[in-house]
Amino acid sequence: MPMPSFSASTPPAGRRRPALTAVTAVAVATLLAAAGCSGSDSGSGSGDQGGQNSRNDQDGQNRADKSAAPKDLTTQKLDWKACPTPSAAEGGGTAPSPLPGGTKWECATMTAPLDYAKPEGATIPLALIRAETSDPGKRIGSLVFNFGGPGGSGVTGLPSFGKDYEKLRTRYDLVSFDPRGVGRSEPVECKDDKQLDGYYARDMTPDDSAEEKSYVDGLKWYAGGCERKSGKELPFVGTVNAARDMELMRQVLGDDKLNYFGISYGTELGGVYAHLYPKSVGRTVFDAVVDPTESSEQGSLGQAKGFQLAFTNFAKDCVSRGDACTLPGSTPQEIQNFVVGLLDRLDKKPINGFGGRQLTETQATNGIAQALYSKEYWPLLEQGLDEADGGSGALLLVLSDAMNGRNEKGQYSNIQAANAAVNCVDSKQRYTLAQTKAKLAEFRQVSPLFGDFLGWGLLGCSEWPVPGEWDKPDVSAPGAAPILVIGNTGDPATPYEGARAMVKALGKGVGVELTYEGQGHGAYNSGSTCVQNAVNGYLLDGKVPKNGTVCK
C-alpha cells in the first residue's frame, strides 16, 4: 500500500506510514499518545511476493500450503505472563496498565520459521500481547489487530488503544503482535540514536548537485548500517512472511478462522493474508485502506494529494474562525503561501527547537504531516506553525519526533528501520536519480507543500541491500468471508479511493464498502457512532452492513 513517506528514514516512495502510539515531549504526550498510521509510512508500491499478480486464488493457496510451518510450531503452547516494560525498539515506557475492570494484559512469544521456504530451519521469535474476553461464555475467539506501519509495535499499540475496543472484548480475546523485524520480534536495527538525530534532520529536498549527492550518500550510509546490523533477517521481513506468521498465529491461538482488524498498512497485510488463506478468513475489518492497485509512483502521488487535501481542510477551518486563527492569511491559499514561505526559510536556515537541537525544513514537513493525521491535532499544528514563524521550532520538532519514534529521552524505537526494511523487501521499484528528478514537476503540481518531499522519496529504496519482491500486492480472495472495508473521505495518508480499489481487488462477494465522511486517518476511532455500530455489528453479531453504506 502506499502510506506516506513522512519519515526521515529510507522511505520507499508512496508507502504506508505507521500508526503512532507515543510522542516525545511531556507538553503534548497525552494528546499524541494514540495517533493512528501509515501511516509514513515510507515506501514504494506494494504487492504480492514474486510479483505474480495474475496468480489465481488456487495458486496462492497452493503456495501457502507448500510453505506451511512444521507441526512442532503449529502445536506450540504459548506461555502467557505479565507483560514486561516495553523495549527500546518498542519505544520504551512502562508496562501496560490493566483495562477498566482490572483485566491485565498478558504477553507471550511465538516461534515462527525465519524462512518459510525452509520451515524446518532457523526460527524467529514473535512477541504477542492479549487481553482475555470480559464474557467467556459468549467468546467467539481471538481478534487480531495490526495498527499499521509497517513498523508499528502491536504489543505497545493495542494497550494504548485498548479502551476503544472494550465493546469488542465482550466476545473476543484482543490480540496483537510485533511483526517480524519490529519491536521485540528481532527488530531491524540500522544506526544509533545520536546518528539518527543527524540523519532525520538532513535535507530531503535537494536543490543542487551537491545536495543531491549528500542525499544519495545518506541513503547509502543508512542502508549500509541496516545491512551490517540486521543483514541476515532483511530478506525475510516482508508482508508475505508476516501474513504467514498470522496463519501460524491463528493455529497456535486455537482459532478455526482468523478474526482480524487491520488499520492502514494492516489492511495491506490483511489483504495479502486473505489472498493466501481465503478459507481461513473470519470476521475481518479494514480501516484506513491501502490501495493495492497502485504502483510506487501512483501511491506517492496519491499521498501527496491526500496530505494536500488535509492541509487545505485545516486551512479552511482556520480561516473560518476569523481573528481566532493565529496564522497570517484570510484565505486557505494565503495560509498555504505562508507555510511554503516558512519551509523555504527553514531550508536556508534552521531555527531553535529544544534540547540543543534545531528545526530543519525536513523536520518541519514531518511535523506538519504528523499533525494532519487527526483533526484532533489541528490546534497543535496551528500553534506549531505560529511559533515557528516567531523563531521557536519546539512544537513542530516534537511532532516530527513522534513520527520518527523518538522519545523524550532521545531514544528511537525501530519503527522507521522496520518501515524501510519491510517496504524495500516488498517493493521491486528502484528509481534512479534521473528518474526521480523527472517526476518532481508532477509531484509539485499536485502538492506545493508535500510534493517535493514525497517526490524525492522515490529514491528511498535505491540503495537497499535486498531486492524487492513485487510490483503490487495480490489481494484477490475468492471464497473468503466478507471483509468490511472502510474509507474516510478526508484521510491524508490512505486516500479514500483506496477503499473502493481494495473492494474490487478482493473480488466479488468479498469486499463490503463503507464510507465515512470525515477527517483524519481511519474511521473507527473517529468518534462516529455510525461507523462503530457497523463494525461492532459485524464483528460481534456477524451482521454485514449493506455495501455502499455512508456514515457522516
Residues with catalytic roles: 264, 491, 521
Question: C-alpha grid cell for residue 351?
Answer: 531555527
What cell numbers appear for 359 in the block?
Answer: 528545526
Using left for φ > 0, alpha for ψ between -120 and 50, and beta otherwise, residue 292 falls in: alpha
Q: What is the dihedral of CA 438, 218, 185, 50, to 10 degrees?
A: 30
Burial of 380 (0-12, 13-18, 19+ CB in 10 A): buried
Cell matching residue 481: 468471508
Q: Which three cell numbers stand for residue 530?
A: 455510525
My answer on whether omega of the bond before 150 falls inside 30° of 0, hence cis, is: yes
Dihedral angle, C-alpha 537, 538, 539, 540, nearest 10 °:
40
36 contact partners, CB below 8 Å, separation of at least 6? 19, 20, 147, 148, 263, 264, 288, 373, 374, 520, 521, 522, 525
Amino acid of residue 248: L
CB 179 within 8 A of CB 186: no
Residues in the chain: 552
Measured over the CA atoms of residue 115, residue 121, residue 125 and residue 128, the dihedral's sign is positive
**Beta strands in 156-300, from DSSP E residues, in sequence order:** 172-177, 258-263, 281-287
Question: Which of 153, 149, 362, 339 lies closest to 263, judged by CA?
Answer: 149
46 close to 290: Cβ distance less than 8 angstroms: yes
